[in-house]
Amino acid sequence: MRITQGTFSFLPDLTDEQIKKQVKYCLDNGWAVSLEYTDDPHPRNTYWEMYGQPMFDLRDPAGLMMDLEECRKTYPKHYIRVTAFDSTHQWETPRLSFIVNRPPEEPGFRLKRQEQEGRKVRYTIDSYASDQPEGQRY
Amino acid sequence: MAQTIQNDKRYEAGVIPYKKMGYWEPDYQPIDTDIIALFRITPQPGVDPEEAAAAVAGESSTATWTVVWTDRLTACEKYRAKAYRVDQVPGNEEQYFAYIAYDIQLFEPGSIANLTASIIGNVFGFKAVKALRLEDMRIPTAYMTTYKGPPTGIVVERERLDKFGRPLLGATTKPKLGLSGRNYGRVVYEALKGGLDFVKDDENINSQPFMHWRDRFLYVMEAVNKATAATGEVKGHYLNVTAATMEEMYERAEFAKELGSAIIMIDLVIGYTAIQSMSNWARKNDMILHLHRAGHSTYTRQKNHGVSFRVISKWMRMAGVDHIHAGTVVGKLEGDPNQIAGFYDVLREPHNKQNLEHGVFFDQDWAGLNKCMPVASGGIHAGQMHQLLHYLGEDTVLQFGGGTIGHPDGIQAGATANRVALEAMIMARNEGRDYMAEGPDILQKAAKDCKPLQHALDTWKDITFDYTSTDTPDFVPSTTTSV
Amino acid sequence: MSAADKPEETRADEKTLDADAKVDLDAVFEASRIQEVFDQLDHDLVGLKPVKTRIREIAALLLVDHVRRQFDLASDSPTLHMCFTGNPGTGKTTVAERMADILHKLDYIREGHLVSVTRDDLVGQYIGHTAPKTKEVIKRAMGGVLFIDEAYYLYRPENERDYGQESIEILLQVMENNRDDLVVILAGYKDRMDRFFESNPGFRSRIAHHIDFPDYRADELESIGELMMNEENYHFSDDARQAFSEYIERRMRQPHFANARSIRNALDRMRLRQAKRLFEARGSITKSDLITIQADDVRASRVFDEPVDGEAGA
């Protein structure tokens, strides 16, 4: 399976050139870009690990690309995403977020159903990979 | 000049013109706390437009058809609405724009029902005007802050869904009527797994003999959760809780919550009070609230009579809905591009600047109320993606019902085609390309990696809905009329 | 970047020219709009002849490189890390800013901004602090010019655990690996820079251009003063101009003389005295009064009180 979180997950994986252009778009809008990684891509796992602080005051994507290269070296089989933060009043939230690295094999999620009264079902989603301890998942 | 008859003569029994009763005050300067309404008036033949405007001011505030002495028991000058300006509509000799100011104390705080009972009450049936349309309103900050606004808002909705930087994608389950709960859930699962973020009940899917509401909710949530597990993405379905009574709506909403739905929906026809109640419920229960504007065209579409959808948009953002259908520009339903841009601005901007070209007559500050997500729905397909993005922007839900479910290779393929088309267009836009001009080319290139998109483009390549709009702006950029 | 996105003048180098094709260098020069920068440089910066010459050489190199690429003549893009040496106030920072502009106009760097730092911006206070700090600065400078003033402070041989060394190593690596992403300019006193390079040969080898900024002559300083005055809508009376000339002669021989910077400070104080004089005189004043610096405003300086070899002060 292929996890389709992030803005461009239905397109072929972005090349570094394509990533640079998206980052440039973010920087030109005055947004701070950051790198985050995880081996627990549960849809409700909001807080991926930060690879350093969000990068404020960047002018050129090369800065982020330098960190991305390091991050990929350290976590080659993790999910890595670029998130761009907009501090404009009444946004103050990410404006773009897309995956730039993913594991070679994505085992996906198990849907657990707990039957309840009146035909109701309580659903739980579990990543197959997270059966393993952190760091040994992919 | 104001020709108000003063004191003793003013209250002699009988009938005097509204103009002379104090409802026409051309020297009046609206104050910051006034609510201002802009009406399009078509007076009866022979009726002076200022008198017609005064009559509208009178009938929408304190007046009745004759003089009443009980006025004198009140500070009636304060409570009278004041028509203070009348302009002829550009290019139309029959119609006039009348500006009417209302004191804030005429209205109950936080009540759309009360606001509308005055502003669009009896006055719309008033004989002195042939037709009457409420075009726009300026809501003062002092009154705006008595409303809670959208319970979730665009920003928090995106955070909850973890979806940024692109319009959201939806579809309405089709056929509208007749599917059993089991078959209905199949459509939902296929569409979500294929790449849509949301699927939607149609406005008239409530609880009919062919599908009881509980059955629908249960099957739909199975589909939503299964699709979430299949994609690793947050997915949702707008469960329509519209019902005959508030009690029943609450019951359905509670059930949706128990099943873990992220979003519920209501129809505009449930009424303003019910909408505000459901908004309170949604706020209390962390639920996104979708509003289908069923019924609005009965009064928004004709230019001479009714209420502009721009005003409905304002009221609904105040009343507190998170989503509202607001037009597609390119789809099958009524919608002039400039008018729709105006509706979208009203729903999404923190502050609206007067923009006559878009039909926005007043500066309007939203006093920190959340932004409401406009929904584009009705006759749109993947081949229009560049136009949709250009006209509607990024913060919108694009609903491809037929454009998903009618795909020749099936529902999943239809959903995938839409998602790929959208992501390709966003990528091109961010790369600085002229995506409006290059749109078809961008889509064709994206289709090389995505057969479903190729088939969608081939199937619907000639589909356009090119009819003249009825609700169009009165001002074009070249107009020099000062307003 | 697709061909359609490129500006007109650079799109040409996408296709290789025939060996006997001719390229109009004038047109290439024109298109680069580099003359504007040269003119601005000549207008704004008095003297600095060797510096300006070197800038023109670098511009020529990059332009020719451009044309060579049109003929598909392979060569690495040249290394343009630089070292500016000279005393304070000789225009190093100003020239660095212009250099960023020039390199941007010639397509060598993508953004053309200047990030100006000193040791404190690069080196941390405790273990693990320096690398993120240095990288943060480098990331901000990407696409532009990183200007490190008094760069020799990065190296403190007296303290072998000094964190400056860590910063130096990161900088060296970036100067080598990210030549396309940023230009590093080191700056400082000549003698100290020389000693710094002796201990850090890695730096010397990565720097292609050493540019020495000479001290200004007295007449150059006078012109600089006039220029600064005009920019602020002031001018000297004839007596004041004479006094200013004497001021410069005396000030140059005093300690802590910092070329143009000292002139800037002196002018600020003259404006102060002028304002005080006008204010104390009261009565009505004219526009001419407001813009004119009188001889008294100049001669009230302590520079005139003290023997020329005496202590500092102005």
> Would residue B174 show up in a list of annotated catalytic residues for this protein?
yes
Mean pLDDT, chain B, integer: 92
Position B127 pLDDT exceeds 90 = no
> How many beta-carbon pairs under 8 angstroms link A with C?
40
Stated pTM of the model: 0.88
The ipTM of this complex is 0.96
Contacts with C216 (C-beta within 8 Å, 6 or more apart), sequence order:
C46, C47, C90, C224, C259, C260
Mean pLDDT for the stretch of residues A91-97: 96
B135 CA to chain A: closest CA distance, Å?
28
CB-based contact C4 B433, cutoff 8 Å: yes
Residue extents of the structural domains in chain C: 3-213, 218-304
For the beta carbon of residue B225, count every other beta carbon within 10 angstroms: 23
To the nearest 10°, the Cα dihedral for A9, A10, A11, A17? Answer: -10
Q: Does residue C100 have a pLDDT over 50?
A: yes
Q: Any idea which of B71-75, B138-142, B441-445, C119-123 has the lowest mean pLDDT?
A: B71-75
A113 vs A120, B146, B228, C100, CA distance in Å? 10, 44, 13, 62
Number of alpha carbons in the 13 Å side-chain half-sphere of residue B94: 10
**Closest of B217, B306, B321, B308 to residue B268, by C-alpha:** B321
Q: How confident is the model at residue C15 (pLDDT cuts 50, 70, 90)?
A: low
Report the pLDDT value the prediction gives residue C47, as an integer from 0 to 100: 87
- Closest-CA distance of chain A to residue B100, Å: 32
Residues of A in contact with C129 (CB under 8 A): none
**Residue B137 pLDDT > 70, yes or no?**
yes
Nearest to B248 by CA among B202, B213, B289, B279: B213
More confident residue, B68 or B483: B68
A58 backbone φψ class: left, alpha, beta (φ>0; ψ -120 to 50):
beta
CA dist B196 and B189 (Å) reads 10
Per-residue pLDDT reduced to its tens digit, A30-77: 999 999 999 999 999 999 999 999 999 999 999 999 999 999 999 999
3-state secondary structure of B479: coil
Answer whether residue C106 shows pLDDT above 90: no
- Number of Cβ pairs closer than 8 Å across A and B? 108
Choose from B190-194, C249-253, C291-295 the range with maximum mean pLDDT. B190-194
Quick: pLDDT tens for B95-112.
999 999 999 999 999 999
Say if residues C295 and C246 touch (Cβ distance below 8 Å).
Answer: no
User: Domains, chain B, ranges and CATH?
Assistant: 22-144 (3.30.70.150), 153-458 (3.20.20.110)
Q: What is the mean pLDDT of chain A?
A: 95
Residue C92 has pLDDT above 90, yes or no: yes
Percent of chain B's residues with pLDDT above 70:
95
What residues of C are in contact with residue B428 (Cβ under 8 Å)? none
Q: Determine the Cα–Cα distance for residues B302 and B306; give it in Å rounded to an integer.
A: 7
Active site residue B305: no
The answer to whether B158 contacts A10, with C-beta atoms less than 8 Å apart, is no
| pLDDT score of C3 more than 60 | no
Helix or strand (DSSP H, E) at C283: none
**pLDDT tens digits for range B270-325:** 999 999 999 999 999 999 999 999 999 999 999 999 999 999 999 999 999 999 99
- pLDDT mean over C208-237: 92
Cα distance between residue B235 and residue B218, in whole Å: 15
Catalytically annotated residue among B257, B292, B371, B381: B292
Q: Is C3-213 a domain of CATH 3.40.50.300? A: yes
Pairing of strands A109-115, A79-86: unpaired
The order of strands in the sheet holding A49-50 is A49-50, A32-38, A79-86, A93-101
Whether the pLDDT of residue C117 is over 80: the answer is yes
Highest mean pLDDT range out of B13-27, B146-160, C1-15, C297-311? B146-160
Dihedral, B47, B49, B54, B60 alpha carbons, nearest 10: 90
**Apex CA B195: angle with CA A20 and CA B379, to 5°?**
105
Q: Topology of domain A16-106, per CATH?
A: Ribulose 1,5 Bisphosphate Carboxylase/Oxygenase (3.30.190)
Instruction: Give the pLDDT confidence score for residue B334 in this predicted structure.
Output: 67
Q: pLDDT at position C308, please? A: 57
Q: Say if the Cβ atoms of A92 and B158 lie within 8 Å.
A: no
Per-position b or e across B415-439, b if 16+ CB within 10 A of its CB: bbbbbbbbbbbbbbbbbebebeeeb
- The stretches of chain C forming alpha helices (DSSP H) are 8-11, 25-32, 34-44, 49-70, 92-105, 119-122, 130-141, 164-177, 190-199, 201-206, 218-231, 238-252, 259-281, 287-291, 295-299
Q: Report the pLDDT value the prediction gives residue C154, as an integer from 0 to 100.
A: 93
The average confidence (pLDDT) of chain C is 87
Given a cut of 80, is residue C192 above it in pLDDT? yes
Q: Is C144 left (phi over 0), alpha (psi -120 to 50) or beta?
A: beta
CA diameter of chain C: 78
Q: What is the DSSP string of B14-36?
A: S---GGGGTTB-TT----TT-EE
Residue C310, pLDDT above cutoff 50:
no
pLDDT in tens, C215-225: 999 999 999 99
Interface contact B130, partner C, CB < 8 A? no
Contact A60 C178 (CB under 8 A): no
Q: Which of A66-75, B53-62, B235-244 has the lowest mean pLDDT?
A: B53-62
Residue C311: what pLDDT? 45
pLDDT score recorded for residue B22 = 85
Residues of chain A in contact with residue C137, where contact means CB-CB under 8 angstroms, are none
Cα separation, B141 vs B365, in Å, equals 7
Average pLDDT of B194-222? 96
**Confidence (pLDDT) at A132:** 86
**Which pLDDT score is estimated for B109?**
98
Nearest CA to B135 among B224, B214, B36, B57?
B36
Tokens at B294, concatenated:
């069923």
Q: How far apart are CA B151 and CA B288, in angstroms?
A: 7
How much is the pLDDT for B457? 94
Q: How confident is the model at residue C309 (pLDDT cuts 50, 70, 90)?
A: low
What single letter denotes the amino acid at residue B124? F
A90, B350 Cβ separation under 8 angstroms: yes
Contacts for B75 with CB less than 8 Å, ≥ 6 apart: none
b/e map C107-137, b = 16+ CB within 10 Å: bbbbbbbbbbbbbebbbbeeeeebeebbbbb
**The pLDDT of residue A75:** 96
Residue with tokens 């020219």: C17
Residue type, B180: S
Cβ-contact C183, C82 below 8 angstroms: yes
What are B44's two structure tokens? Answer: 């009866």
> CA torsion sign, C151 to C155 to C156 to C162?
positive
Mutation target for A interface from C108, C133, C142: give the one with most A CBs within 10 A: C142
Q: Cis omega (within 30 of 0) on the bond before A103?
A: no
The yes-or-no answer to whether C3-213 and C218-304 have a common fold is no
Q: Average pLDDT of B358-380? A: 95
Confidence of residue C41 (pLDDT cuts 50, 70, 90): confident
At B401-433, the pLDDT tens digits run 888 999 999 999 999 999 999 999 999 999 999
Give the tens place of pLDDT for each residue, C44-55: 888 888 899 988
Instruction: Find residue B198's DSSP bridge partners.
Output: B236
Question: Which one-letter amino acid corresponds to residue A98?
Answer: F
Q: CATH: 1.10.8.60, 3.40.190.100, 3.40.50.720, 3.30.1320.10. Which one for C218-304?
A: 1.10.8.60
Residue C102 pLDDT > 50: yes
Does residue A138 surpass a pLDDT of 90? no
Q: Is residue C4 less than 8 Å (CB to CB) from chain B?
A: yes
Tokens 């997270």 found at:
A130
Identify the pLDDT of residue C9. 41
Place of tokens 């020495």: C212
What is the average pLDDT across B73-92? 91
Per domain, the residue ranges of chain A are: 16-106
Confidence of residue C10 (pLDDT cuts 50, 70, 90): very low
Distant-in-sequence, close-in-space partners of B440: CB < 8 Å, separation ≥ 6: B383, B386
Ordered DSSP codes for C186-206: EEE-HHHHHHHHHH-HHHHHH
Confidence category of residue C74, pLDDT binned at 50, 70, 90: confident
Tokens at B408, concatenated: 């020749």
Beta strands B96-102 and B82-88 are antiparallel
Residue B433, min C-alpha distance to chain C (Å): 8
How many residues are present in chain C?
314
Position B7 scores a pLDDT of 64
The set of residues, in sequence order, having a beta carbon less than 8 Å from that of B23 and lying 6+ positions away, is B54, B55, B57, B58, B61, B63, B80, B81, B82, B83
Give the whole-angstrom CA distance, residue B402 versus residue B405.
5
